[in-house]
Structure 1
Amino acid sequence: MHPDPTAAPVSAPCLPEAGPVANRLREMIPGERPQERLQRLGPAALGDTELLAMLLRSGTRGHDVLSLAARLLAAAGSLGNLIAWREADYRKLKGIGRVKALQLITVMEIARRVLGRQAGEAPVLDTPAAAASYLLPVCAGLEVEKFWVLCLNRKNRLLKRVEVTSGTATASLAHPREVFREAIREGAVAILCMHNHPSGDPRPSAQDIQVTRQLREASRVIGIDLTDHVIVGRKEADPAGAGFYSFREAGLV
């Protein structure tokens, strides 16, 4: 019997592990392995562990690819949580070296971008909660602050999302000139400004407040409405439990 290529050992150990376990892949009934099920039934028939196993492709000595995928899911807590993982997080697991880690973060970045693009009709962003929900997939796992301007029509429907800066949202980086240039170019009647806090706490800094004041004054001069400035964080890190902060709700816009 030829050895199964999907169980070939790959990278060197990263963490101490328990002794070898039974090879789940080898013990499976022919035709029930992930690749064969995928070909026969399609991707919807595969569980999270099997889908991860298809991405990983191979295990390590003493741990087949299904066991490796199961350990990865257990460490992350869920498939969705992997979108925030970095290369170093993946490489803590025995069997995941540099190449596998880079492949996985590439897949997660693709997932983040797909989630960030709304299918069908452009969304209506008429409340802070709607805006935060729209941008949350884009912000997931980011380690730096990014500042976006969302160009809107008269019905608060999104025309275009533009990333203005990447880095701390200071008054010099998120300059009104750059923000409103995009709005004018798109023929927007209103804009919604948004940025993320990688810490997860969406409460504004003094610089955030300064930026908002500058944008509010520029909005009045240019004649393009600033509907809000929303900071996106995470619910578990937000003392208010919302996961976002709205300058309009706070009476500052």
Structure 2
Amino acid sequence: MARPFSVEDASPQAQLWRPAPAPKPHYAGHRERLRERAVAGGLAALPDYEVLELLLFRTIPRGDVKPLAKQLLARFGSLGGVLGATAEELRTVAGVGEAVALDLKLQHEISLRTAREQVVRRAVISSWTALLAYVRTALAHEAREQFRVLFLDKKNQLIADEVMNRGTVDHAPVYPREVARRALELSASALILVHNHPSGDPTPSSADVDMTRQIVEAVRPLRIAIHDHLVVGRDGVASFKALGLM
């Protein structure tokens, strides 16, 4: 019976041949290099897409996530826009599943809670910069208009921040009596009204002015003050008080 053929039976030239190793993907070693740069130079030195890459590394353990990071930024306009997008909106981007959407929303929630910590248990009026940072984090990238009320006690400390209504891309219905009723339930002494303009421009509209006057009149008999009405957009925050509108 013939002996099975083995490599020893091949000619010396054949024995030297080996299949060429598969070429490494172009992104091989990118994760390690990016992490090293982040450690050496600090996160602040990285562009937005690389910061987003570092975050995506944790959810997507293998592969090149740079295209996904850049696609997210192109779709939502900025890093804040990515984190502020809803889970449903995030999942419309190819490559974003439930786990990625959840991790991105987790980052936004951490940012929101961190900003809120600078506002609670202190007089809101004396920590105005922190308040503006908080409302921008909460609303600057909302895709639909949202009307919120900050309820304050006698010391101007925050009792509650509540969404009174959500609406469309350019309108959120507001009911002054509901605002007054909720203020009484919380024993609030003052309010700060807040809503966003998804268009990005925080300039108050005539409808915003009319609605503010209606709420002021609704709470006046209750001796509840309206300190301000803030309109939040991607381009900044407009204050009715600073603009002389109240």
Taking structure 2 as the reference length, the TM-score comes to: 0.67
Distance 1:84 1:191 in 2: 25
1:133-162 CA-to-partner distances (Å, cap 9, x unmatched) read: 221111143110000010012232211101
Which structure has the highest helix share of the two? 2
Distance 2:238 2:55 in 1: 36
Structure 1 gaps of 5+ residues are 1-19, 35-46, 60-66, 236-242
Distance 2:112 2:80 in 1: 14
1:51 aligns with 2:55: yes
Shift of 1:203: 0.9
Distance 1:33 1:87 in 2: 24
Shift of 1:50: 3.8
**Kindly tell me: are residues 132 and 50 of structure 1, through their superposed partners in 2, closer, same or farther at Cα, counting changes over 3 Å?**
closer
1:107 aligns with 2:106: no
Which residue of structure 1 lines up, in the alignment, with residue 93 of structure 2? 90
The structure with the largest alpha-carbon Rg is 2
Shift of 1:230: 0.7
Identity %: 31
Residue 117 (structure 2) aligned to one of 95, 119, 122: 119
Structure 2 gaps of 5+ residues are 1-24, 36-49
What is the Cα-based RMSD across aligned positions, in Å? 3.3
1:245 aligns with 2:238: yes
Which residue of structure 2 lines up, in the alignment, with residue 177 of structure 1? 177
Distance 1:206 1:176 in 2: 17
Alignment of 1:19-168 (within 5 A): 21-24=26-29, 48=51, 49-59=53-63, 67-68=64-65, 70-75=66-71, 76=73, 80=80, 82-85=82-85, 86-87=89-90, 90-91=93-94, 96=95, 99=97, 102-117=98-113, 118-119=116-117, 121-126=120-125, 129-168=129-168
Taking structure 1 as the reference length, the TM-score comes to: 0.65
Count of aligned positions: 196
Shift of 1:89: 6.5
